[in-house]
Amino acid sequence: MSETTVPVTRTASVADAPVIAESSTSRGRRARIALRTLQVVLALFYVVASALPKLIAHPSAVEGFDKMGWGSAGMYVIGVLELAGGIALLIPVLQSVAAVALSGLMVGAFVVQLSYFDGENAATPLILIVPLALIAWARRRHNADLLRLVRRRA
């Protein structure tokens, strides 16, 4: 019986594959610009259109949270979470984690819309999850940087 040897070649894993948003080609540059623009637009949305009305106790926000029975404490907590997530979308080492956290918040918003408001605006959180998932995936390499920072501090 003869043994055949096959040269072992290293196959590229998903982690080794270049991310288009980080490549140096013109396509990669356009993708980086588009992704950064998307992050800025989402950050502005979360800070200005979503968190601010809750943090300044706009009557529409107060009414909604009273209807749910969460009161002003729940309104301020959600407002602070949205504000922190919107800001974190602009900080390179936090971008991916912020997108995942905001996605989780949007899942909760979807459930709340269905439960308390008869699905009136239930599509909005679902629509927002799509670009947040894209950001989380495209910026996933920053998770390793964040993990290194956390380990260094511990």
Predicted confidence (pLDDT) at residue 11 exceeds the cutoff of 70 = no
What is the mean predicted confidence (pLDDT) over 31-42? 96
Please give the share of the chain, as a percent, with pLDDT higher than 70.
Answer: 85
Residue 2 — pLDDT band, cuts 50, 70, 90?
low
Q: pLDDT tens, 102-116? A: 999 999 999 999 999
Give the global pTM: 0.81
What distance in Å separates the CA atoms of residue 147 and residue 114, rounded to the nearest whole number? 36
Burial of 138 (0-12, 13-18, 19+ CB in 10 A): buried
